Structure 1
Amino acid sequence: MTIYTGPVFEMARRQFDQIANHIEMPDDERERVFYPKRAVTVSCPIHRDDGSVTVFQGYRVQHHLTLGPTKGGTRFAKTVDIGEVAALAVWMSWKCALAGLPYGGAKGGITVDPRALSSRELEALSRRYIQEMIPFVGPHTDVMAPDMGTDEQVMAWFMDTYSMYQGRTVTEIVTGKPVSAGGTEGRREATGRGVAHLVGRALDRIGLSPQRSTVIVQGFGNVGSVTACALAERGVKVIGVSDHTASYYSPGGLDLSELQRHVACKGSLHGFSSELSIEPEDLMAQRCDILVPAAVERVITHENVSRLRCRILAEGANGPTTPEADEILDQRRDEIFVLPDILCNAGGVIVSYFEWVQGLQQLFWAENEVLSRLHGLLDRTFDQVMARSDRDRVSHRTAALAIGVERVRDAKRTRGLFP
């Protein structure tokens, strides 16, 4: 029996079982490597603007602390539950280990629609959540970051609340903060820029020119919009975008500047155009060179994977491809070059690591140094995954997960089991 249930957690469990079989992990090691070390659930009551009180449920899962403190985002969304949070923490562990970062994975969240809260209510809920988490987090225990439904401002509230309880400013308790509050240059754009950089490496590897390539981005939030702009700067034509409200497609290319202005004004893509509108499930099936799922989990399934007509699948989101769909992708390995999520979207946690290091040292870097270090780490990790894939004749996902899981397993073996 386990407290972790739901389709997202089962997906993470199935992935792990496949990798454990692949690397021939002994049965008596598997549960220790896979299951989270700690899960915390809290109730977060706040005063609403109308004078009433509402209690929201919050979670934090810390997967392992074998390599260092845990690290991971905090998600505010209606779908958040303990199983989803645990799965995201597990994936973050493999991602950090793959990139060679001294972290275990963590994830947190509150079951809430943040768009239904006023600014004051959002601040109250953010501060109450981190207040409840204070006994379980810290710069050398668990470092939080933004995720879906949270942003730089929420991280600033987290940092301020934690600092008030410590009696001193502790910038390194969270990453993804505003630069004015101890954040790092380039953090907000890091995940999207990392996706674009790795797409560039993939284009080189399969012999495609950016200037002759097209991209469709599913999910036009922070990661998706930055990815689209970064690819456009390289000469790639953006022909499709979507968010939870609308999807648009134009073979001749979309005006990114107009799209960004619309989202900044209206808060979403809804209402941008009626002529360019397309059904969301049809958008991902359009022919393109690069497809970037950058929204939520489980959007590429066994039902739609055969409709994909891209050359590169760049997973900007966590867990966008189900195991069933992945089996079909593996059969299409010569057609579709997959950049798996734990490699493709690692730019965010890499620059979060840089922010944490700068906070601990109180020595801050210029943006060009951040980007140079980011590209160096991504290149090293990309090369390791490609080499492992070629050596073992396995998919890029299997290669990436095998490297990450092995590094966590080896660290646990070396440290031993206490007492």
Structure 2
Amino acid sequence: MGISQSCSLAAEFPSRALGYGEQLWLRLSEVSSNNFVMVVQIDGAVELRRLYTALEGIVLTFPVLRARVELASAPPRLAFSRVPRVPLTVVPGCADGDWPRLAEHELNNRIPADAELLWRATLLQDELRSVLLLTFNHAISDGHSAYVVVRELLQSYADASAAGPIMAPPAAYDDLLPPGQGWRMLTRCLPDFLTKVLNPAPRAAAAPANVRAQANDTVHSRFFNLLLDAPTSAGVLARSKREGVSMHALMSSALLLASYDALGGAGEKDIVISAALNVRPRLRRPSLRDVGYFATGIECRYSLAGHEDVWQLAKRVSADVDAQFTSENIAFSLQLRRLILALKKEPGSLRDALSRRSQSSVHLTNLGRPELPQHYGSLTLRACFPIPSVHFLNKPVLCLATVFFAGQLRLIFSYADPLTDPAYIDSVINQFRKRLCEVAD
């Protein structure tokens, strides 16, 4: 990979300590890849010089793209270089046919905590089409931030004068919650949390393991990319609005029911679903242009017996998300991360502790409808979607990322291979697609 250096100097900013969420992802990247890859599919051949100039522009605009981590500091700190470097690699090939293989390589090719930069770009193009892959260590970015990067990159490519104003480094969102809230919530919620730890509920149904997996097999993330046709996508969205249910709740409900069916579809089963949520709406000074890590996770448990209505279950999900997704609970979650980081200093033991604590067998990341124009000068944006890695927890798991763009709903299923039973994965995907088609009809 080549890292080209510019003659321009970026604005100077002081280093800052990593927040607890950033620290957790950084530590996990010391033992396994926690990358996510943003896939940008484009009609038209990209001019390399213009792309390089646009990439240089976003590196100047967003300080986190020129940051490295000072690991010797306690806690680790983000240091922002004044020298913008563009980590661009150009790969010849068939844009339509070769991108899945290259994206999977990027997904599993770890960006280590001590890397010179915590992201990279790879361009794959032929005469008619191009695919740009933006790969991020999760410690410095989330899905929403990646869409900001893509939008401003393509706008700058089409018109260099369209670049937005230079941003200051994003604050760790720990510092953007109401002062003192973390300790207040820790004092209030810790007794109940410890009671649940000491007297845990029965284990929920787990994603089944692949019986053919061997102890010495290399574990990696793989994905299945499914694009619903425009009529079905429009039908799902229209029905969701008519029922008064968010797309997040609907996707969660359909995923829970698909998982229940894939687990045999008989008797009562407890299934835990986790979700990643954008915390910006709960912060004191939210900025939609900040590029950084602004996500939190929640887990919800459901007892399913097979006769649940998708809409009634979706309303239960919606109520649970509303109850959990508060600034108080976000603050409590950060304090728990602080505690586990203090207790589990070795990356492998940290990963194992997180794996044991999480009972979710399915995970949802709903990116909604990103604000992305389709046309940028001579280029047309066909698709833009993230692929998250999931194998860093070293357990069977299935993740679904959803995004609605250009009138179509895209579903990206990621799973830990070879740990997760392939028959279970196929069944969940088929059952999920079937339920969405029923919703649309």
TM-score range, shorter chain: 0.3 to 0.5
Bigger proportion of residues as helix: 1
TM-score, normalisation: structure 2: 0.32
TM-score, normalisation: structure 1: 0.33
Which structure would you say has the larger RCO, counting Cα contacts within 8 Å and 6 or more residues apart?
Answer: 2
